[in-house]
Structure 1
Amino acid sequence: MSSPNPPSGTAAPASPTLDTAATTTHGGQLSRSLGVGGNVLITLSGISPASSVFILGGAALAGYGTGVFWGFALAGVISILIAFCYAELASRHPIAGGDYSLVSRVLGPASGAAVFFIGMVSLPLIIAIFALGVADYLGFALAGLDPLATALIVIVLATVTACFNIRTNAWVTGVFLFIELAALALLAVLGLVHIERPITDLFDSQALDAATGGLAPLGIAGLVLAVTQGIFSYNGYGGAVYFAEETKNAKRAIARAVLWSAVITVIAELVPLTAVLLGADSLEELFGAGLPVESFLASRAGDTVTVVVLIAIALAIINAIIAIALQSGRLLFAAARDQAMPAALARPLGRVSARTSMPVAATIVMGVIALAACFIPFDVLLNATGSTLAFSYGFIALAAFVVRRSPAAHGTYRMPLWPAPPVLALVAIITIFVIGILDPAQWLSLTIAFGIVAAGYLYFVLYLRHRPGVLHLIDASDDPDDLDGTPVAAGEGRGA
C-alpha cells in the first residue's frame, strides 16, 4: 500500500531553528527507525480490529441489531473527524506520550495532568481486561486454562516483548496483525458470497424484541448507543502519536500514520460486520445468539475453521496487549521526562535504554500496574475504563479547536474544513455524555471517569502549580530528524 497523502495540502518544509537535545533524555534517545508503515502496524495491533469485531461487534449485534450498520458507519465518520484532530496536533507536536503530550502543550499542564491520569488508569486496566479474556479464546485449543493465571503470563510476556527495540516490535505485531486481518477477510467473504438480503434492508434499523422473538424498530437512543459502541470499537488510531519520536520525518509522517490507521480500522471492522448482516440465514437467530459473530462463522465455515479463527482472535488480543504495553510505557516516560512528577521518580522513569533505545523502566512499571489490575473484579475494570475514552476525545477535540491560535511551523499538516472536524466531534462527544447521564446504568462509569479527571486537576493544583519552572515541556518537533533527517551542526539549536 502506498503512503497516503494527507487530505489537505501542507506547506513546503523550510530550514527551522532546531534543537538537537529535544528527544535526548539522560544520555539516551528513542530510536527514530519506524516508517509510516511500521507505525501503522503497531497502532493497528493496539486497536485489534478482529477482536473488536468478534467481541464489541458481536455485543452490538445482539443489542442493536441492524442498527449496527448505521451506528458503526456514523461512528466511522466521527472517528475520522477525531483522527483529523489528532493528525494536526501530532504534526505540530510529534512527541512520545500520546494524548497527554498533545493536550499539555496546547491546553496547558492542568488539562495535561488530567489526561495523564486518564492514561495512567485506563491503559493498564485495558491491558488487564484484554489479558483476562485471552483464556476464553485459547480455551478452544487448550482446555482448562485458568483466566487469571493465563492473564498474568500473557502480561509478563507482552511487557518483556515491549522492552525489545521498536523495529522488532513492529515485525512481531505485524505478523500477528496479518493473521487477524486474514480472519476478518474470511468473515467478509463468507458473508458476501452468500448474500441473503439486499443492503437496503439494513437501512431500517431493527433489533431483536425479547418479548416476541421477532424484530422491532430500534429507537434513536438505541442508535446513539450503537454509535457509541462503534466509536469504542474503532478506538486506538491516536496511538500512532505515542511512537512519534520513533517515526522518521515525523512532522509529516505522523499525520499520515494517524489517518491511515483510522481509515483502515473503519474499513476492516465495518465491512465484515456488514457482510455478516447481509449473509446471515436469519437475523432473528443471529441477534439472539450468545456470540453472534462466532455463531455466523460456525454456520458458514464449520466448527474446525471456527476454532482456528478463535485461536487467531486470541493471538490478536495478545498482539493488542503488546502494542498497548508499548504505548503505556511511552506515556509514563514522557511524563517523567517532562518532570511532571517528583525527581526521585522522574529520573529512572525518564531513562532510555542505551542498548534497545526503549523506555524500559517505564514500560516495566506499567506492566506491573497491569498485573496488579488483574486482581480487580472484572466489572470494576469495565466501569473504570468505560467513559474515559469520551473524556480523552473531548480534550483532543478541544485542543484541535484552539491550536490554531499559535502559528504552525513549516511542513505541519492542517486538517481540511477546520474548525468543522473538532466542532462536530465535540457535539458528538457531548451527545454521548448526555445519553450516558440519562441512562442510570452508565452513572457508575461516568462517576469514575469524572473522578479520574478531577484527580488529575487536583494533582496540578496541589503539586505542579506550586513548582514553577519544574515542568519542562520539551517539543520533539524541534528534533532535526523530524523534517528531512539532516543533522544540524552543534550550537545552531535553541536551548531546550
Structure 2
Amino acid sequence: MTTPPALDTAATTTHGAKLSRSLGVGGNVLITLSGISPASSVFILGGAALAVYGTGVFWGFALAGVISLLIAYCYAELGSRHPIAGGDYSLVSRVLGPASGAAVFLISLVTLPLIVAIFALGVADYLGVAIAGLDPLWTAIVVIVLATVTACFNIRANAWVTGAFLVVEMAALALLAVLGLVHVERPITDLLDPQALDTATGGLAPLGIAGLVLAITQGIFSYNGYGGAIYFAEETRNARRSIARAVIWSAVITVLAELVPLTAILLGADSLEELFGAALPVETFLSARSGDAITIVVLVAVALAIVNAIIAIALQSGRLLFAAARDRALPAAVATPLATISPATRMPVAATVVMGALALAACFIPFDVLLNATGSTLAFSYGFIALAALVVRRQSDAAARAGEDLTGTFRMPLYPLAPVVSLIAIASIFVIGILDPAQWVSLGIAIGIVVAGFAYYGLYLRRNPGTAHLLAAEDDEWEPAK
C-alpha cells in the first residue's frame, strides 16, 4: 500500500472525531471575512477614528494595513506548517510550547465570548432604525441563541449563510465608496497632512505623532480577524497549501474593503469639520449623500453584518474549545464531551453550545467592563504569533534537514521582516498603553489573563503530564480531500 501524500495532512484527530474536510479556499475566506465584518468595522471603529483622528485615519489605516499584511504572513506560515483547528492556541502551543499555548488559550477563551456579547448588544442600535423599541439585552440574547444554533449546522451550510450576509455588507461598503468618489470635494494630497478637529476652535489642527500612532492602533484592531481562517484548517481541503492563501486573501480583502470607503468619505465629504464633529461620522456622510431611506437600508445591512460576524465567531469559538479539549488541555471530565463531533453534521456541537452559553452570560456584564476586558488582549495574541513565526521557520528547516516532506507549505517572503516589524509595532502599542492612564485597566486585565494562563499550565497541566497531549503535525491522521 502506497503512503498517501503529505500535502493533505492536517490534524484531524487521534481521538476518533473527524471534522468535515469540505471547504475550499473560497468557503474559508467567506466565513473568515464574516467574522471580521468589514462593514461594522467601518461604521463603528472607522467612524470613531474619524471623529478623533480626522484625516489621520488615511495614514493610520494605510499603515495599519501594511502591518496587518505582515502579521497575516506570520499566520500563513504558521498555519501552513500546523494546519490544525483551534486558531492562535493551536499554533502557539505547537511552536512555543504548552505554557504559551495555555496563555493564548485563556486569552481566546475569555475574549471570544466577550466580543460576541459586545457585537450582539450593538445589534439593536442599528436594527432599531427599522424596528423601533428593541431592547438591547433581549435582542442580544435572541441573536446569540440563533447564531449558536446556526453554528451547529454543517460547515458548508454555514459558508453559504455567512456568504449571503457578506454580499449584503460588501454592497453597503461599495455604496459608501461610490458616494464619496462620484462627488470628490478635495484632492487626495489633502489627506497626506494628518489633521484632526480642534474642539476649542472648531477648525482643523495638525495631528501629532502620538495621535497618528493611535490611529494605526485603531486600524490594526479594525482589520483584526484574518487569522480566523486557521480555525477552519481541518475543514479546508489541501490545507497545507490552502490555509495560507485563505489567510492572506482575507487580510488583503479586509484592508481594501475598509480603507477604500473610509478614504472615499474623506475625499467626498462636503465639510471635514462637520464630518469629524458629527456624533456618527459615517452615518452622517451617508445620510447627506443618499437620503434617509437609503441610510435606513444600509444601517439594517450593518445590523445583518453584525449578526453574520456573531455566527462566524461562534464557529471559531467552538473550534477553540474543541481543539483544547481534544489536546487534553482540560480536565478529562470536561474534555471528553467537548472533544466530541456530531455524527450528523460533523461539527463540534457541544463545544459550540458551551461557548454560546458563555457569550449569553457575558451580555449581563456592564458594557464598559466588556470593552476593557477585550481592549489590549489583541496585542498579546499578535505578540505570541509574531514570536512563533520567528521560531517556526527554524523548526521547519530542521524538519526538512531531517527528511520530512514539507511540499506545499508556505514560506513568507523577506523573512524575518514580517515578524520583526510586527513585534516592533506591538511593542509600540504596549508603550502607548503604559503611557496612557486611560489604557491601564484594559492593559492590566490583559496581563492578568496571560499570567493566569501561565499559572494554569504551571499549577495544573505541568503537574498532570498524562492529561495534556498536544497533537503534533507528524502524528496526525491523513484524510483524503473530499
What is the one-letter code of the residue matched to 2:69? I
**1:198 aligns with one of 176, 180, 187:** 187
1:438 pairs with 422, 435, 439, which one? 435
The Cα of 1:471 is off from its aligned counterpart by 1.7
SS in structure 2 of the partner of residue 216 of structure 1: strand
Which residue does the alignment assign to 2:481?
485
SS in 1 for 2:171: helix
Query: Counterpart of 1:460?
Result: 457
Task: Work out the CA distance in 1 between the residues paired with 2:166 and 2:288.
Answer: 25
Q: Quote the offset at 1:441 in angstroms.
A: 0.4
Partner of 2:168: 179
TM-score for both structures, normalised by structure 1 = 0.93
Q: In the aligned structure 2, how far is the partner of 1:19 from the partner of 1:77?
A: 31
Are 1:217 and 2:217 counterparts? no
AA partner of residue 306 (structure 1): T
* Equivalent runs, 1:16-165 vs 2, <5 Å: 16=6, 22-24=11-13, 26-165=15-154
Alignment of 1:304-453 (within 5 A): 304-407=293-396, 409-453=406-450
The aligned amino acid for 2:241 is R
Give the Cα separation in 2 of the matches to 1:244 and 1:474: 14
Distance 2:6 2:229 in 1: 24
2:332 and 2:467 in contact (8 A); partners too: no
**Amino acid across the alignment from 2:303:** A
2:444 and 2:61 map into 1 onto residues whose CA distance is: 26
CA 1:28 to 1:203, structure 2 compared with 1: closer, same or farther past 3 Å? same
Quote the RMSD (CA, aligned, Å).
1.5
Cα deviation, residue 468, structure 1 = 1.9
Q: Counterparts of 1:120 and 1:18 in 2: how far apart (Å)?
A: 28
What are the superposed Cα offsets for residues 147-180 of structure 1, whole Å, 9 maximum, x if unpaired?
Answer: 0000000000000000000000000000000000
Which of 231, 236, 244 aligns to 2:225? It is 236
Shift of 1:469: 3.9
Q: Percent identity?
A: 79
Give yes or no for the alignment of 1:270 onto 2:269.
no
Read off the aligned partner of 2:359 and give its amino acid letter: A
Identify the residue that residue 8 of structure 1 maps to in structure 2.
Answer: none
Measure, in 1, the Cα distance between the counterparts of 2:243 and 2:316.
15
What secondary structure is seen at the aligned counterpart in 2 of 1:406? helix
Structure 2 counterpart of 1:278, one-letter code: L
8 A Cα contact 1:79 1:262, kept in partner: yes
Q: Secondary structure of 2:67's partner?
A: helix
Which range is displaced more, 469-478 or 70-79? 469-478
Amino acid at match of 1:301: S
Counterpart amino acid of residue 318 in structure 1 = V
Residue type of the alignment partner of 2:355: M
Q: Tell whether the 8 Å contact from 1:25 to 1:350 is kept in structure 2 after alignment.
A: no
What is the alpha-carbon distance in structure 1 between the residues aligned to residue 422 and residue 103 of structure 2? 20
Deviation, 1:23, is: 1.3
* TM-score when normalising by structure 2: 0.96
> How far apart, in 2, do the equivalents of 1:337 and 1:19 lie?
17
Contact 2:8 2:481 in 1 (8 A): no
For residue 38 of structure 1, report the CA deviation from its aligned partner: 0.1
Superposition deviation, residue 472 in structure 1: 1.4
1:193–1:236 Cα change, 3 Å: same
Name the CA distance, whole Å, in 2 between partners of 1:314 and 1:476: 40
> Deviations along 1:70-94, whole A, 9 cap, x unmatched?
0000000000000000000000000
Give SS of 2:340's match: coil
Deviations 1:262-291 (A, max 9, x none): 000000000000000000000000000000
2:402 corresponding residue in structure 1:
none
> Alpha-carbon deviation of 1:64?
0.1
- Give the whole-Å Cα distance in 2 for the aligned partners of 1:135 and 1:51: 13
Contact 1:82 1:397 in 2 (8 A): yes
Cα distance in 1 for partners of 2:395, 2:388 equals: 12
Indicate the SS of the match to 2:196.
Answer: strand
User: Is the CA contact 1:18–1:479 (under 8 Å) kept in the aligned structure 2?
Assistant: no
Aligned to 2:469: 472
1:302 is aligned to 291
Question: 1:411 Cα deviation (Å)?
Answer: 1.6
- Aligned-partner Cα distance in 2 for 1:416–1:395: 20
